[in-house]
Amino acid sequence: MDFKVKSGSGLSGEVQLPGDKSISHRSIMCAALAEGTSTINGFLEGEDCLATLDAFSKMGVSINRTDNKVVVQGVGLNGLKEPDSELYLGNSGTSMRLMSGILSGQKFPTVLTGDSSLSLRPMERIITPLKLMGSSISSNSEGNPPIKIQPSLKLKSLSYELPIASAQIKSCLMFAGLYTHSPITIIEQLQTRNHTELMFKKFGIEVEVKEDGDAREIKVIPPESFSATDINVPADFSSAAFFILAALITPESNLTLKNVGINPTRTALLEVLQGMGANIKLFNVIDEYEPSADLQIKFSKLKGIELDPKLIPNLIDELPVLFVAASLAEGKTKIRGAEELRAKESDRLEAMSNSLNRLGVSFDEYADGIDIQGLNQEYYSSNRNLPFKAAIINSFDDHRIAMASAIACTRAPNESKVEDVDNVITSFPNFLDTCRRIGMEIDNS
């Protein structure tokens, strides 16, 4: 499937976006290992999260799904059963990495597989520390899936400093820490997403966090068991980012996004965009275990910036959006410390560089980042200018490249095309409908 995109103006409306992908994954995992019945409201029905749900169903967990509400009958920490076949996780790196921690503590063997994209993603980053804990886990000779896990004796405790800032590695080890004799400690030099810490605490699992400047020490105290609870999943900030971008760069826009998750470890993009001059306001703030708010976004004149590399871990998924915003900002934007983009569903530095090149944007790509030359003052002197060139863009079968590129194409004349966008359903199954609802001219073919 391809997207066909035309330019437009005046995006408006109030939109409820899909549930947060990261929280949806973790809610299923914790609910499955809890004692009792958990109800998850706002669960994201994207393919990635459904892959996690399906995997636990195959391991004997009763899960009933109605629209975006999921009811999970937890089986307890030691109640999972051996699946009848390999666990296929599609394109979901989160599922594979986090579940590897859980499955390392089981008394049965498992094999985790994925699609062609997931099969190229690096897994040594979790395999190395899991082996230090006593897990009998392996990948292929290149360190990629499939992942094979054999039964082990009870896992050993570990104190481990993350070699790269990664919430997936941290979370994998935290889940493995549920199956150790004594506490496990993880040290990160830059704070990453803390959804697992918050989810564990919501389920009553004891987690101690110590902070020393940017560094954090997370200690998980393994429970004998923990009880079910109900979860309300706010809208996904990473999904909201595409429509924040759309409203900021489209003249005469005034858009409201409802109940968006504003966890401080996820919203660095807000800080960056507001620093660039974005008109974004938060209201109706709800401060639950995962905070949320309504966001109002208006068309804004943006200025280029030099991005603080310390912010990269907490806007890694939103960098494609930032690249487009930088292309329409006045002046140059410099981004460094983003080499992790090369190990995502695609090489996102290369993929977004390709998109920018097709749109006529000037840039210099580096091993760990990019310099993007934005627009001069002329663009903002008339709301009718269309700064990009009409283009045919390759999404590299990456959902975030596809959506960011589609938003960018709304600022090009005539019609543009974004190719191979089927993967958008992994994280945002109703992206196209949402675009149309707020006034974007976008279709599929």
Which sequence positions are flagged as catalytic?
A: 317
How far apart, in whole angstroms, are the C-alpha atoms of residue 174 and residue 102? 9
CA angle 261, 257, 242 (to 5 degrees): 85
- Cα 137 to Cα 58, 98, 145, 356, 419: the distances in Å are 20, 13, 11, 40, 37
Residue partners of 404: CB distance under 8 A and separation at least 6: 242, 245, 320, 321, 323, 324, 352, 355
How far apart, in whole angstroms, are the C-alpha atoms of residue 337 and residue 341? 9
Name 261's bridge partners.
292
How far apart, in whole angstroms, are the C-alpha atoms of residue 378 and residue 358? 21
β-pairing verdict for 332-335 and 35-41:
unpaired
CA angle 328, 398, 307 (to 5 degrees): 40
